[in-house]
């Protein structure tokens, strides 16, 4: 056996361990940076992430709305005008924060829709058949008057 033969193996193992440690530290740094600086544009709901400021605002609004909605409530959701796919993603995010609520997406206020409440996110509804029960800068919750 040659006395210098184990050295290249040790060197290769040491290089592999050094590379693994470097990659691990780089991933940790990237993750922390992404949490501080969200690189995704927030204006489109299809690009929102759970750490986005827009999602945190919606979560805050949904928490307040959920306190006013009885479990199993039938709710219609409308939001600000825009492209249909973006409206759908906004609706999905709102549903995520309102578990236990039966919701449907609507294009506008239809008083004949068989729902008990309306959520208007990013807009307001002016209809005498709806009574506002929550109004915030993000949106409003209305009870349907029968």
pLDDT in tens, 30-78: 776 666 665 555 667 877 878 888 899 999 999 999 999 998 899 999 9
| pLDDT tens figures, 87-112 | 899 899 999 999 989 998 887 767 67
Amino acid 57: pLDDT = 92
Among 7-11, 23-27, 130-134, the range scoring the smallest mean pLDDT is 7-11
Looking at residue 86, what is its pLDDT? 86
Q: 119, exposed or middle or buried, with CB in 10 Å at 0-12, 13-18, 19+?
A: buried
Burial per residue of 16-25, b for 16 or more beta-carbon CB atoms within 10 angstroms, e otherwise:
eeeeeeeeee
Mean pLDDT of 117-140: 91
Mean pLDDT check: name the lowest of 5-9, 20-24, 131-135. Answer: 5-9
Q: What is the mean pLDDT of residues 114-122?
A: 91
**pTM higher than 0.75:** no
Residues 6+ apart with CB under 8 A from 48: 40, 42, 54, 55, 89, 93
Counting beta carbons within 10 angstroms of the beta carbon of residue 59, is it exposed (0 to 12), middle (13 to 18) or buried (19 or more)? middle
Q: How confident is the model at residue 137 (pLDDT cuts 50, 70, 90)?
A: very high
């Amino acid at each position: 056996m040659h006395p210098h033969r184990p050295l290249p193996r040790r060197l290769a193992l040491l290089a592999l361990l050094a590379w693994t440690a470097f990659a691990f530290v780089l991933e940790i740094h990237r993750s922390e940076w992404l949490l501080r600086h969200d690189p995704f544009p927030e204006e489109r709901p299809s690009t929102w992430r759970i750490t986005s400021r827009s999602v945190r605002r919606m979560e805050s609004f949904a928490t307040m709305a959920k306190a006013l909605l009885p479990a199993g409530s039938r709710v219609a959701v409308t939001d600000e005008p825009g492209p249909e796919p973006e409206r759908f993603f906004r609706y999905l995010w709102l549903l995520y924060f309102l578990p236990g609520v039966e919701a449907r997406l609507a294009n506008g206020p239809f008083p004949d829709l068989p729902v008990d409440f309306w959520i208007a996110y990013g807009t307001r509804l002016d209809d005498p058949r709806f009574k506002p029960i929550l109004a915030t800068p993000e949106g409003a919750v209305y009870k349907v008057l029968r």
